[in-house]
Amino acid sequence: MTTPALADEIWVTNEKDDTVSVIDIETLEVVRTIETGERPRGITFSKDYSRLYICASDSDTVQVMDPETGEILYELPSGEDPEQFVLHPNDRHLYIANEDDAITTVVDTETREVIAQINVGIEPEGMAVSPDGKIAITTSETTNMAHWIDT
């Protein structure tokens, strides 16, 4: 039997004021607000929760934050207008939906380099990866398509 994950915070991007808010789930109050790049959208943690990845859409970058300090440690290349992304189960590759370019960008979080750019439908926004890491999926809202990517 597995134990369910426990969490005492919710992290939310605020695209209108370029911040991330941390909400205490017991009180449902904002306990911290942290400045980010322009128009933050997607957000995810590394497996060990030591890094927070943030799509700063209007800054055309993925920011990497230390969640303890709120400091932006560095930025990763992303392509134009990164909307959403998914971190591969290997905790190393980010698959990023770039809405303005109609591509999925794959970034190696260790080398901080783009390793692939894959053409997908117009206005890609949603991203997912299979639990075994073999398939990534990009959904495109204007073309109403899902693109299955062999990772």
pLDDT digits over 60-71, tens only? 999 999 999 999
The whole-number pLDDT of residue 3 equals: 45
Mean per-residue pLDDT of the chain: 93
Residue 15, pLDDT > 70, answer: yes
Q: Using alpha carbons only, how large is the chain's radius of gyration in Å?
A: 15
75 backbone dihedrals φ, ψ, rounded to 5°? -120, 150
Nearest to 43 by CA among 21, 17, 24: 21
Compute, in degrees rounded to 10, the torsion defined by CA atoms 17, 19, 20, 25. -50
The whole-number pLDDT of residue 6 equals: 54
The whole-number pLDDT of residue 106 equals: 97
Global pTM value: 0.91
Identify the residue whose tokens are 């426990």: 6
Residue 103, pLDDT > 60, answer: yes
User: Which residues, 6+ apart, have CB-to-CB distance to 69 below 8 Å?
Assistant: none
Average of pLDDT values for 37-41? 96
Q: Is 57 helix (H, G, I), strand (E, B) or coil?
A: helix
The alpha carbon of residue 88 and the mean position of all alpha carbons in its chain are separated, in whole angstroms, by 11
CB 18 within 8 A of CB 34: no
Amino acid at 103: I
The whole-number pLDDT of residue 7 equals: 76
CB 106 within 8 A of CB 114: yes
For 49-58, what is each residue's pLDDT tens digit?
999 999 999 9
